[in-house]
Amino acid sequence: MIGFVNVFKPAGPTSAQIVARLRRIYGVYGRDRHIAVGHLGTLDPQAAGVLPIAVGKATRLIPLLTEQRKQYAATLVLGRSTTTQDALGETVASAELPDDWRCRLESVLPRFMGKVTQTPPMFSAVHHDGKRLYELAREGKTVERKSRTVTVYGITLLGTESDGVARIRIACGEGTYVRALCEDIGAAMGIPAHMGALVREGSGPFILYEARTLDEVASDPQAAVIAPEHIIPFPTIVLDLRSSADFRAGRVVALPEGAPAPQVFVRDHSRTLVGVGEAHGAMLSPRKVFV
């Protein structure tokens, strides 16, 4: 089995727990309890939304995915900052809301578009000396983290509530921490802040309204699988019986026609996906082979 699944992750379970459930579903369906399953980017336990999953040999295609833009809807809660930068943490600082907090919010949001410098939160999946930061944080440890530059393509203020809660939508590049963004927005306003609810509405070609719940995937596992060609924008070529056998064996083969792109998906005469090839003039060399 080779493909991707657009899973809706509810708030509560970890991304690893969702992957484990998918592994059981497809292990039973494909009669392969060792089937490979992996996500294309973790989502915090308290967050909900799109969690793209690679199933079977599609896990080998993950490195071929180009940078995936993300879109989130979040609540920015003003008046309190926390140890985890979200609603689950202990209070670090609190303050009364000034009367002009809405005006301050509207004035500072444009500062957070474009290239933004962020420090990864302690409660994140970044590695430090062989451990995840969140593992160190749960041990009560804090370590120095290197700042990184991320890209925020847009921030839209969707609405505000009288108790200092604002709803925002963020379009951003990979590696952006929305919780850190919320805290930084509050700091720019001069008000402690943290992230409340978070929903990932999109991750590259995976969008929220097409996502399936675990129960929906379990009821029809095959229908939930998206072909790699629909996710990675490589064209597909079809090789004849002999050429596909050579390709599977890792040998360079002649292109049946001119190369439509530098990299292509390769299917055999029965339309089975056999790998990814790289064009070199009139020849095609195997880059990924699914034996």
Task: Cite the active site residues.
Answer: 44
Q: Which residue has the tokens 């439509």?
A: 260
Contact assessment for residue 18 and residue 12, using Cβ atoms and an 8 Å cutoff: no
Beta bridge partners of 193: 78
Cα separation, 263 vs 179, in Å, equals 37
List of residues 6+ apart from 123 with CB closer than 8 A: 84, 85, 86, 89, 133, 134, 137, 179
> Sign of dihedral through CA atoms 210, 211, 213, 215?
positive
Residues 6+ apart with CB under 8 A from 80: 91, 93, 94, 95, 192, 193, 194
Of 291, 268, 290, 289, nearest to 278 by C-alpha is 289
Query: Cα separation of 142 and 132, whole Å?
Result: 12
Tokens found for residue 211: 């996502």
**Rounded Cα distance, 14 and 46, in Å:** 8
d(CA 44, CA 238): 41
